[in-house]
Amino acid sequence: MAEEIYPNLFRIKIPLPESPLKYLNSYIIKGGERNLIVDTGLNRKECKTAMMEGLKELDIALETADIFITHLHADHFGLLGELVTPKTMVYFNRPDKELIEHWEGFEPMIAYAAKNGFPEEMLRHALNQHPGFKYGTDWIPALNILNDDDILEVGDYRFNCIMTPGHTEGHTCLYEADKRFLIAGDHILGDITPNIQCWSEDSDPLKDYLESLDKVYPLKVDRVLPGHRRVFENYTQRIDELKHHHDLRLREVTDILVQTSSLSAFDVAAKMTWDIKADSWDDFPVAQKWFATGEALSHLRYLENKKLIYRDKEDPVVYYSATS
C-alpha cells in the first residue's frame, strides 16, 4: 500500500523478511512523463511483489520510472536489476560504483576480519547467509553518476544531492530546500543508529560519518524521510543524539582498553554493550557478531587516528591498547 507523504510523493514499505529492520522505505515521486523510485529492496520475491503492487496502485508503469539509489547495500540496491527497462535512468554515486567495479568477493573482508580476531570459519558461515550475498542484484545496469550538489528534478520537486559518506563511502541524500525535507537513506534514522563498520586498513568511516552529520546539520529540514522505520521531524535533535551515541561508544571502547589492555577488535566487541536479546556474547548470532566487530573496528580506527589508542601487536592478529 502506498502512503502519500507530500503531494505526489509516496512511501511504499518494502518487506525485509528475517531482518530486524523489518522493511525498507522506498519513496516514489510522481512527475508526469517521468517518475522516480528512491531505493528498491532486496532481490527477492516479497520485495518485488510489494514494489509492483505499490506502483500499480499509483498507476506507474516501470517504463516511466527512473531510479535513484542512496547507497550500495543490498536492501536498497538489490532489486534494481528487476525494475530496470530500456528507458530507465539509474542514478548512483561514484565511490560506491567504484566499489562495485573493484569487487573481489568476500575474501579480502574475511582475511581482514581474521586479522582482527574474528574466527574465519564462523565468518564464512555467516556471510553465506548474508542478505547481500543471497539477495543482491543478479545484473547491474548502467549507472548514471550524480555528484555532490548536483540537482535532480522530478515533477514539482527539485532535489539537491548531498554526499554523506560514513554508512558507505558514497552514501547520498536528497534535499528538497523549498519544501524542507531530506530523503536520508541510512544516514539519519529515527529509532536506531546507522551501522558504521570498518573493514579496510585505509578508511576511517566513523570520522567520515561524524563529518557528514556536521555537513547536513545546518540544512533547514522540517521532516526526515529515512530508509527504515518511521518518518520523523526532530532533525537537529536526532543528529545531536547520534553524535552523543558515538561519543559514548568511543568512551566505552577506551575504558575497555584501559581496564584490559591488548585486545583484538573481536575481543573489544565482545565487551561492548549491545541492544540485542542475548544473555552473553557467546549467544549472539554470528551475523550480529560480524556487525558488532565491524562497528568496534570503526571506533578503534577513529581512536587510533586520534592517537588515543595504539597497536601493540600486529602479527598474526592486531591487538590494541590505550595510550597512557
pTM of the model: 0.96
Neighbour-count burial of 147, counting CB atoms closer than 10 A to its CB (0-12 exposed, 13-18 middle, 19+ buried): exposed
The DSSP bridge pattern shows strands 90-92 and 65-68 to be parallel
Report d(CA 263, CA 252) in Å as an integer: 14
Q: CATH says 2-105+139-240 is which class? A: alpha beta
Contact present, 63 and 85 (Cβ < 8 Å):
yes
DSSP 128-182: HT-HHHHSS-S-----EE--TT-EEEETTEEEEEEE-TTSSTT-EEEEETTTTEE
In DSSP terms, 6 is beta-bridged to 9
> Which residue type does 106 have?
F
Task: Provide the 8-state DSSP code for 107.
Answer: H
Task: Provide the 8-state DSSP code for 102.
Answer: T
Contact present, 322 and 300 (Cβ < 8 Å):
no
Domain boundaries, the chain: 2-105+139-240
Q: What cell was used for 203?
A: 578508511
Contact present, 287 and 274 (Cβ < 8 Å):
no
Q: Does the N-terminal peptide bond of residue 316 adopt cis geometry, omega within 30 degrees of 0?
A: yes
Report d(CA 215, CA 165) in Å as an integer: 10
Residue 163 — φ and ψ, nearest 5°? -75, 130
- List of residues 6+ apart from 128 with CB closer than 8 A: none
Which long-range CB contacts under 8 A does 301-310 form with residues at least 24 apart? 301/198, 301/203, 301/204, 301/205, 301/206, 302/204, 302/206, 302/207, 302/250, 303/250, 303/253, 303/254, 305/204, 305/207, 308/254, 309/253, 309/254, 309/257
Report d(CA 266, CA 119) in Å as an integer: 9
pLDDT in tens, the chain (324 residues): 899 999 999 999 999 998 888 999 999 999 999 999 999 999 999 999 999 999 999 999 999 999 999 999 999 999 999 999 999 999 999 999 999 998 877 888 899 999 999 998 888 877 776 666 677 777 789 999 999 999 999 999 999 999 999 999 999 999 999 999 999 999 999 999 999 999 999 999 999 999 999 999 999 999 999 999 999 999 999 999 999 999 999 999 999 999 998 999 999 999 999 988 888 999 998 888 999 999 999 999 999 999 999 999 998 999 999 997
Q: How far is CA 264 from CA 80, 119, 248, 261, in A?
A: 38, 12, 20, 10
Q: Give the SS3 label for residue 104.
A: coil
